[in-house]
Every structure is written in structure tokens, then in C-alpha cells.
Amino acid sequence: MWMNQYGRIRGLHISSFCLPAGTTPLEEIRELNPAGVILSGGPHSVHFDESPILPEGFFAFTREQGIALLGICNVLHLIVDLLGGKVNHAEHHEYGRTQISAVEKSRLYGDSEAMHNRTVWMGHGDQVVKLPDGFRVVATSTQGIVAAIENEKANIYALQYHREVLLIRLMQNVLEKEIKEIAEMVGPDDHIICALSGVDSVAAGALVHRAVGDRLHCTRERMMATFEKDLHLPVTCVDAAEQFLNWREIGKKPTYLVQGTLHPDVIESRSPHESGDSHSHTIKTHHNVGGLSEDMKLKLVEPFKWLFQDEVREMGALLDIPDSFLKQHTFPGHVLAVRIIGDVTQENALDTLRLVRLGAFYKIPPFWILLSC
């Protein structure tokens, strides 16, 4: 699924997962027990050998389970082709805004008058010549191109343009589920979390505190008052700069590593080789995804790995985290160290960069910002 579609769907509080097209086995889809499946389109023609395909038995599975199926863009052609219709290849692809109209009342559009001359963004390189049995055209473009089809009995729908569906997922339910899973995972022992001042880290710390209560002990060099006053977290100030800079081991041997990993981190870091998706590319590798040592013995606690940034902020509001945290300017993790050329030292590097950061947040004149160059 294209990320703009995925983000819009998640923004509607729909519990959704993005799986690679053409390589995801049917069993993996079955284990997720979906209420619906959206097949996102791409530039490939159904007549090309490298085009994504559906796993064997996919349509039988969705029909038996009563799963709603929505195809977008060229998936309309794929559905038609696989189910016995006919699709011709066009010499030229067409992309851009166009007018479409519903041709009759349908489950997709309801009253056809509501879809009269609606402007959409449509792209296609193939054209439907014949529909499979049980399907009907429910919308066409002003040029007569098939814009939408449906088979209400089979619960299969397809659009030649982009549109979203709505399945309600309340963030409160996600919050309760994460609290329960964390409590079961970490057990009855006390736990220490090194809490940063970023949105993801603060929200993760607040969530773990909800799960384990006063058995959580936070350590933070700065912002002590805010953590204690606003978040009501038991905070202990530990000045461990020297130990970290000298690569020394501090404290007891940890058991769990709590990370504020977000779902975009996972998606952007995933390579086609790792995911089995030959139709995508690695966007960038995140330090918290694939950057941990293979010898690491820590168990990961990543409550936000299926959430986006706006969803974390929404959950943070449910955790009573103040807006001063939730709406603060983004400051990427590890950004101090990666900005330093040469040795990472406290006096002439880290402290200077921290002043630069304060200058950026509190709008001290621009010459402060030049110190980071």
C-alpha cells in the first residue's frame, strides 16, 4: 500500500497493517484475521511478468471468511483478469484529474446522485473490456473508462482511483491492550527506564508506568521537575555522562530495552531482501530498527511499533502528558553524537550542541545555530 493511503487510513483510527504485495503468503494474512483487505495499486500492467500477484487461494479465503475486499488503481484490472474477465493493454498510461459519475445505485456509492461529476485522480495503463461474472460497472469517467466495479454478493469492490474506507479503531482500546501486554511481559520486578525528552520516549515511559506502576524508576539528567510534576513519574537523577562517554557499564544488568520505535521506522528501514518485497526500496535505516547488536540479550519493549507519530501524540493525551511535551518540536534521537566531528566529549561538543538546541527552540538569534555547523 502506498504510504499516503496507509497514513490516511491510520488517521481515521483504522487498525491496519502494511504487507508486501506479491510475496505475502496466504497463511500470514489468515493469522491477522482481517475484517477487510485493501489491495493498493501501482504502475504495473497485468500483462507484465513482474507485476505483483495474489497468493493462491486468496479469493476463496476472502469469500469463505466474508472479508470485504477493495482494490485500488491497477488492482481493478488484476481482479478482473484473475476472475475471468478481459483486460486490454493500452499503449499510453493516463494520469491526472478527471470527472467520474456513478451510473446506478450501488453499495459503494449509495444514491448515484451523490457521485455525479465528482473530480478524482485517476491513473491507468490498461482498460477493462469484459467484466467477470457477477460484477457490474457502478461508475465511469467522462471518457467512458470504467472507474469502479463491484460484486456485492462476493463482497469485492474495486476503484480506478484512490479512495478510503472506514473501520473504527479507538486509541483507548490500543492503550488498554498495550498496558496489558507490557504488564504480562515484564513481570513483577522493578524496572529502570532512561527517559529522554522526546514525544516518543516520554509517551513510552508514561505507558510503561501505567503498566507497572511504582515499580518503574526513571532516570533523566534534565527536566526533573517536569517529569515529576506533570507526569507523576518516580524520577531519579543520575549523572552518568562520564560512564557513557567512556563506554563503561553502569548499574545492574538490564533485562528489557524500552524503545519509542514508530511504525514508519520499521517500514522505512525494511529492505526488499528482508521483507521479500521486490517492488519496494529501503528509504533509510533507523538506529532502533536493525541497528542493535545481534549479541544483545535484552528483550525489546516497543509499544508504538505499529503506530504513527500523530497516533503516539493522541495516546500521549490519553496518558495525560502535557502539551508542552506532545506539541514540542521534533528532535531526533542520537542527534547530538552524529553532529560531532571527532571525539564525543562533554565540555567542547555536547554542551555546545545543547546550547544550540536551546537556541533553536527558544529563538535565540541565528548566530547560535551556526555553532552546530
Ligand-binding annotation for 331, yes or no, is: no
Same domain, 300 and 354: no
Instruction: Say if residue 13 is exposed, middle or buried (CB neighbours under 10 Å; 0-12, 13-18, 19+).
Output: middle
Q: pLDDT digit string (tens) for 230-247?
A: 667 666 666 666 665 554
Look at residue 165 and tell me if it is in a domain. Answer: no
Same domain, 329 and 229: yes
- Per the annotation, the verdict on 44 as an active-site residue is no
Write down the pLDDT at residue 254: 65
Ligand-binding annotation for 254, yes or no, is: no
Write down the pLDDT at residue 373: 26
How many CA atoms are closer than 13 Å to the CA of 343, on its beta-carbon side?
Answer: 7
Cell readout for 192 is 529502570
pLDDT of 275 strictly over 60 = no
- Beta bridge partner(s), residue 137: 149
Band the pLDDT of 210: cuts 50, 70, 90: confident
Same domain, 30 and 146: yes
Pick from 119-128, 287-296, 357-366 the range whose average pLDDT is largest: 119-128
- For 223-283, the DSSP string reads -HHHHHHHH---EE----HHHHHTT---SSPP-EEE----HHHHHHH--HHHHT-TT----
pLDDT of 312 strictly over 80 = yes
Catalytic residue among 13, 94, 152, 162: 162
- Beta bridge partner(s), residue 191: 216
Same domain, 214 and 310: yes
Look at residue 227 and tell me if it is in a domain. Answer: yes
Band the pLDDT of 38: cuts 50, 70, 90: confident
Q: Summarize the confidence of residues 281-288 as an average pLDDT.
A: 54
Instruction: Say if CB 70 and CB 158 are below 8 A apart.
Output: yes
Catalytic residue among 104, 164, 181, 274: 164
Write down the pLDDT at residue 224: 59
Same domain, 232 and 196: yes
Look at residue 166 and tell me if it is in a domain. Answer: no
Same domain, 323 and 178: yes
Ligand-binding annotation for 71, yes or no, is: no
Same domain, 70 and 118: yes
Of 16-25, 183-192, 319-328, 364-373, least confident by mean pLDDT is 364-373
> b/e per residue, 316-349, with b = 16+ CB within 10 A?
bebbebeeebbeeeeeebeebeebeeeeeeeeeb
> Using DSSP, how many helices (H) and how many strands (E) does the chain show?
14, 12
Same domain, 309 and 320: yes
Q: Which of 159, 192, 209 corresponds to the end of one domain?
A: 159
Q: Name which of 370, 336, 330, 367 is nearest 350 in CA terms.
A: 336
Handedness of CA 217, 239, 258, 332 (dihedral sign): positive
Instruction: Say if CB 136 and CB 108 are below 8 A apart.
Output: no
Ligand-binding annotation for 227, yes or no, is: no
User: Among the residues of the chain, which ranges form H helices?
Assistant: 3-11, 26-32, 58-65, 75-82, 171-186, 199-212, 224-231, 241-245, 263-269, 272-275, 309-318, 323-326, 335-338, 351-362
Band the pLDDT of 255: cuts 50, 70, 90: confident
Look at residue 220 and tell me if it is in a domain. Answer: yes
Same domain, 78 and 185: no
Same domain, 180 and 145: no
What is the number of domains present in the chain? 3
Look at residue 235 and tell me if it is in a domain. Answer: yes
Band the pLDDT of 319: cuts 50, 70, 90: confident
- Per the annotation, the verdict on 164 as an active-site residue is yes
CA 71 to chain centre: 20
Q: Summarize the confidence of residues 155-166 as an average pLDDT.
A: 72
Of 40-54, 94-108, 229-243, 313-327, least confident by mean pLDDT is 229-243
- Of residues 230 and 16, more confidently modeled: 16
Q: pLDDT digit string (tens) for 334-354?
A: 556 666 666 666 665 666 666
Cell readout for 348 is 567542547
Cell readout for 138 is 457502478
Band the pLDDT of 364: cuts 50, 70, 90: very low
* 324: CATH: 3.40.50.620
Write down the pLDDT at residue 221: 44
What's the domain range around 215?
Answer: 171-333
Ligand-binding annotation for 61, yes or no, is: no
* 38: CATH: 3.40.50.880
Look at residue 354 and tell me if it is in a domain. Answer: yes
- Per the annotation, the verdict on 218 as an active-site residue is no
Ligand-binding annotation for 165, yes or no, is: no
Write down the pLDDT at residue 273: 44
**Whose grid coordinates read 484490472?**
77
- Of residues 267 and 261, more confidently modeled: 261
Write down the pLDDT at residue 130: 93
pLDDT of 48 strictly over 90 = no
Catalytic residue among 44, 73, 77, 191: 73
Ligand-binding annotation for 133, yes or no, is: yes
pLDDT of 285 strictly over 50 = yes
How many CA atoms are closer than 13 Å to the CA of 35, on its beta-carbon side?
Answer: 8
Give residues with Cβ within 8 angstroms of 171, minimum separation 6: 13, 311, 314, 315, 318
Look at residue 53 and tell me if it is in a domain. Answer: yes
Same domain, 143 and 211: no
Q: Distance (Å, rounded) from C-alpha 17 to C-alpha 15?
A: 7
Cell readout for 253 is 544488568
